[in-house]
Amino acid sequence: MKTVKEITQLLMDQEEPSAWMKKLEMDERAGVKKALDRWNANYKKKLLRQQALQEKIAFDDNYKLFQGALVAGVDEAGRGPLAGPVVCAAVILPKNPIELIGLDDSKKIAKRERERLAEVIKEIALSYAVHIQSAERIDEVNIYQATKESMERAVLQLDTSPTIVLADAMALQVPCQTESIIKGDAKSLAIAAASILAKTTRDALLDELNIEFPMYNFAKNAGYGTADHLEALQMYGPCKHHRKTFEPVKTMLEGGLVD
């Protein structure tokens, strides 16, 4: 009879259900029951993730009106923060990219997993592009127009021309058919992939800004108006990367509190 430790290791190495596992259901040892329950729970999660992946692939495939049609997903990161750029990405994925199991809206994924997925996306994508829109440009034209412009530039920078562009809640003007998808990063695999590239790129940029301006703690708050960020604004005033048309930065500048 195998020990609990040996059985636990066998289960860890087992990817799919097998006949030998049925016999474990008769094993009365608590350690075996616990290991088997854990395997079954993890397997159910795996099936759900596979199902979610196929649903996102099918969503994108619905927009492929002919064989060989290419769908580009577009998304942004950083519309709401008080500081830093807004970053937009466009991605064209290959057919049935099973390597992207677990891909979802970037906000629902832990940082380390986002970074791993970003590398996978860059490796397998037929084409991808990232555009960085500065805080200065955001102040010039407003955040909506700056984001729209950045999304459009990301699409135009793709090495391969898409047949159709699916954008997350944004109507774009590009040289092909476009669709604005509400909550697109939860429905479309291509948009979710763009979300990951935009988010990881922006996070890396804010980490760099944190080195130059450590007092704002950009590495932690990503430029959002958290309590520590607002406290730093009161103490030091805004820096060149703050959005001057966003509150409370706007009021601080209009009130002459800072230069």
Among 103-117, 172-186, 200-214, 234-248, the range scoring the smallest mean pLDDT is 103-117
**Distance separating alpha carbons of residues 82 and 67, to the nearest angstrom:** 44
Query: What is the rounded distance in angstroms from the CA atom of residue 140 to the CA atom of residue 243?
Result: 10
What angle is formed at CA 249 by the lines to CA 246 and CA 250, rounded to 5 degrees? 70
Report the chain's mean pLDDT, rounded to a whole number.
95
Question: In which band, very low, low, confident or very high, does the pLDDT at 125 lie, cut at 50, 70 and 90?
Answer: very high
- Cα(222)–Cα(38) distance, rounded to whole angstroms? 36
Q: What is the mean pLDDT of residues 36-49?
A: 93
Using DSSP bridges, classify how beta strands 164-168 and 177-181 pair: parallel, antiparallel or unpaired. parallel
Compute the distance between CA of residue 257 and CA of residue 242 in angstroms, rounded to an integer: 15
Mean pLDDT of 125-153: 98
**Residues in the chain, total:** 259
Confidence of residue 259 (pLDDT cuts 50, 70, 90): very low
pLDDT, mean of residues 166-180: 97
| SS3 (DSSP) at 205 | helix
As a whole number of angstroms, the distance between CA 94 and CA 71 comes to 9
The mean per-residue pLDDT over the stretch 202-222 comes to 97
What is the per-residue pLDDT across 24-39, written as a single tens digit (0 to 9) for each?
989 999 999 999 999 9
Cα torsion 194, 196, 201, 207 to 10°: value is: 160
Q: Helix/strand/coil (H, E, C) string of 125-150?
A: CCEEEEEEECHHHHHHHCHHHHHHHH
Strand, helix or coil for residue 167: strand
Rg (CA), the chain: 23
Tokens of 202: 């922006």
**Residue bearing tokens 């791993």:** 116
Q: What is the mean pLDDT of residues 206-213?
A: 97
